[in-house]
């Protein structure tokens, strides 16, 4: 037996994009249901990155009970390190903006608590199989609940915020893989360790043996990465070997070591779906696009998609005006491709390709110098990293 539930907007995915969208829609008086395959605990305990642009922080700060300003920390710059020297990119000095470090799972805890307190219908453990009726006024989501019951969500509009393995994407782009994409011949070996921060700001380091990033999660937990082979086995290195690799890749800084409690290999790729909307179904965030993590753009891009989509849905569903939704994908794609470029550029400028020749290596140092030694170069980086303003 199938239970059918009516809603105005069916949102698949309770990550930052889906939850923020339900919040913005509720503010506009539009009711929605959010479903996610994962349990609440899984969503809230997966430790993920969170470099937030000013616009993202301003939006999160409006969520009742948000801890973004108390638990998050403002970062006024990053360091680019190469050829044994560090170069600070001073964000406020260059563009009058900063970024905030607020791990994604902390933002998700705030969002889930606020949405539930606001009476949001939010269902965990729901597996979505397919979406039908994109070209009609009544698109539907077909799913199975945590108890194994069939569930149909019949809506005015369906949004897939269901991550890089999106099932909703099939209803929009025609297949799971329908998109523009690029793979990279390297990955990141990431660790979480219990230690105080080794540096106040993030260090993006290019060294002859490859890239490393020194990031943070809190005063007592640090996140660090080093470039590795995409097929590397995260269990193959001892803790001592991991620390040797990291120390060697950030010459000039002595990293404070501590017990490593998580390790993973993150493959990366750039992806943009061929279509972001078909009729009354749209995809946002990682369901629509993936960026390599070097530019810290992932969550911010998802938020920008959703801000634009909420405006378009308000126009469509409360005033019957389809003008904004018709232009939504094109508008969102302008920012998405700028962020794709920035993420690709930071990645290729800082990593050492496995087949790099001496020419490539020296050219790369020339590129890094032309960025840090030029105010225009530093300004481009600061502008993109802290986030472009949303177009009106
Ligand atoms: C992270 O802390 O995981 C992180 C920070 C900055 C990036 C990517 C990842 O560019």
User: In this predicted model, what pLDDT tens digit does every residue of 185-214 receive, in sequence order?
Assistant: 999 999 999 999 999 999 999 999 999 999
* Shared domain check, 205 and 297: no
Q: Among 226, 248, 266, give the residue marking a domain's end.
A: 266
CATH number, domain of 209, equals 3.30.9.10
The token duo for 120 is 């949001």
Task: Identify the pLDDT of residue 32.
Answer: 98
* Shared domain check, 282 and 234: no
**Ligand 1 atom closest to Cα of 223?**
2
pLDDT > 90? residue 335: yes
* Shared domain check, 236 and 301: no
In 3D space, the residue among 169, 121, 130 whose CA is nearest the CA of residue 9 turns out to be: 121
* Shared domain check, 220 and 120: no
Q: Among 266, 294, 324, give the residue marking a domain's end.
A: 266
Task: Identify the pLDDT of residue 99.
Answer: 97
| Termini Cα distance of the chain | 47
pLDDT > 90? residue 288: yes
* Shared domain check, 243 and 207: yes
Range of the domain at 262: 187-266
Task: Identify the pLDDT of residue 392.
Answer: 58
User: Pick the residue with more confidence: 109 or 389?
Assistant: 109
* Shared domain check, 199 and 337: no
Task: Identify the pLDDT of residue 49.
Answer: 78
Cβ(215) to ligand 1 under 6 A?
Answer: yes
User: Residue 47: pLDDT band by 50, 70, 90 thresholds?
Assistant: confident
In a domain, 287, yes or no: yes
* Shared domain check, 244 and 290: no
* Shared domain check, 118 and 161: yes
* Shared domain check, 301 and 237: no
Q: Is 129 exposed, middle or buried (0-12, 13-18, 19+ CB in 10 A)?
A: exposed
Percent of the chain with pLDDT over 90: 95
Task: Identify the pLDDT of residue 119.
Answer: 96
* Shared domain check, 288 and 246: no
Distance (Å, whole) CA 183 – CA 267: 9
Q: What is the mean pLDDT of residues 205-224?
A: 95
C-alpha 227 – ligand 1 centre gap (Å): 13
Task: Identify the pLDDT of residue 96.
Answer: 97
* Shared domain check, 147 and 44: yes
In a domain, 293, yes or no: yes
pLDDT > 80? residue 270: yes
Describe the chain by its helix, strand, coil percentages, rounded to 5: 40, 30, 35
Cβ(294) to ligand 1 under 6 A?
Answer: yes
Q: How many domains does the chain have?
A: 2
* Shared domain check, 193 and 175: no
The mean pLDDT of the chain is: 96
Distance (Å, whole) CA 392 – CA 389: 9
Using alpha carbons only, give the angle 275, 273, 14 rounded to the nearest 5 degrees.
100
pLDDT > 70? residue 285: yes
Distance (Å, whole) CA 315 – CA 328: 12
Task: Identify the pLDDT of residue 177.
Answer: 84
């Amino acid at each position: 037996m199938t239970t059918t539930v009516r809603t105005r907007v069916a949102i698949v995915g309770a990550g930052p994009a889906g939850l923020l969208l339900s919040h913005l829609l509720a503010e506009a008086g539009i009711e929605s249901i959010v479903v996610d395959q994962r349990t609440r605990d899984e969503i809230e305990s997966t430790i993920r990155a969170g470099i937030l642009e000013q616009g993202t922080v301003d939006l999160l700060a409006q969520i009742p009970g948000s801890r973004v300003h108390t638990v998050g920390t403002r970062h006024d710059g990053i360091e680019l390190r190469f050829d044994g020297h560090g170069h600070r990119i001073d964000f406020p000095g260059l563009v009058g903006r900063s970024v905030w470090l607020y791990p994604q799972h902390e933002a998700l805890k705030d969002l889930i608590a606020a949405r539930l307190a606001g009476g949001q219908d939010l269902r965990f453990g729901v597996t979505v199989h397919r979406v039908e009726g994109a070209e009609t006024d009544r698109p539907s989501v077909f799913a199975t609940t945590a108890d194994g019951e069939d569930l149909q969500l019949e809506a005015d509009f369906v949004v897939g915020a269901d991550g890089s393995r999106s099932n909703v994407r099939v209803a929009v782009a025609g297949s799971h893989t329908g998109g523009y994409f690029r793979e990279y011949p390297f990955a990141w070996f990431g660790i979480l360790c219990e230690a105080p921060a080794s540096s106040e700001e993030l260090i993006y380091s290019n060294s002859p043996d490859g890239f490393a990033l020194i990031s943070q999660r809190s005063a007592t937990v640090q996140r660090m990465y080093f470039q590795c082979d995409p097929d590397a086995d995260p269990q193959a290195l001892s803790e001592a070997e991991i620390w040797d690799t990291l120390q060697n890749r950030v010459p000039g800084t002595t990293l404070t070591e501590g017990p490593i409690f998580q390790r993973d290999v993150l493959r990366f790729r750039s992806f943009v779906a061929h279509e972001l909307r078909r009729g009354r179904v749209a995809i946002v965030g990682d369901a629509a696009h993936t960026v390599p993590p070097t530019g810290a753009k992932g969550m911010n891009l998802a938020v920008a998609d959703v801000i634009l989509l909420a405006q378009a849905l308000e126009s469509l569903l409360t005033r019957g005006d389809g003008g904004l939704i018709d232009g939504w994908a094109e508008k969102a794609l302008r920012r998405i491709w700028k962020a794709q470029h920035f993420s690709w550029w930071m990645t290729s400028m800082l990593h050492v390709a496995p087949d790099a020749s001496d020419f490539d290596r020296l050219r790369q140092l020339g590129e890094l110098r032309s960025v840090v030694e030029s105010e225009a170069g530093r300004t481009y980086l600061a502008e993109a990293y802290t986030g472009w303003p949303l177009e009106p």
